[in-house]
Amino acid sequence: MPPFIPFVSDDEIATIGRGLIDRSLPKPLWTHAAHFAAAVWLMRERPDLDLPRDMPPMIRAYNAATGVANTDTSGYHETITLASLRAAAAFLQGRPAGEPLHLSCNALMASPLGNRDWLLSYWSRERLFSAAARRAWAAPDLAALPF
């Protein structure tokens, strides 16, 4: 995984969020950091959306538009998406009101959530990467989520 390069502006975050929605974000830019940046942007800028309901079809459509099949072994992953949304929401609650989005995203990526393997503190690899967990929410089997 390439090293995280900090976001430099809120416009950069907005471009990621809008690029997910309209499926224009170049696939190489859809990184671990971009997933969280899109979630943070949607939470702050699109309160009209119910993200646990609306983000899954956004990601599936984006994947399809960029040539990624949504199957039992690739593409959209329900458990990772829902856990990440919960984690991002909890993280944002602890940030200063009015903090620029790019600073919130940089702080999130500097936290344990910035490690792509953060979920493996709560799920075994076998359970998290199962087809069942990809299709539907699978509760953690190692430890309860703290948020």
Task: Identify the DSSP state of 74.
Answer: S
Q: What is the pLDDT of residue 3?
A: 72
Please report, as a single letter, which amino acid is at residue 42: L
- CA separation for the pair 125, 110 (Å, rounded): 23
User: How do residues 69-105 score in pLDDT, each as one tens digit?
Assistant: 999 999 999 999 999 999 999 999 999 999 999 999 9
Place 1 in a pLDDT band, splitting at 50, 70 and 90. low
4 class by beta-carbon count within 10 Å (0-12 exposed, 13-18 middle, 19+ buried): middle
Structure tokens that stand for 92 in this block: 């944002």
**CA distance readout (Å), 12 to 4, 6, 29, 41, 49:** 14, 10, 11, 10, 21
Neighbour tally for 6: CB within 10 Å? 13
Q: What is the pLDDT of residue 2?
A: 62
The three-state secondary structure class of 133 is: helix
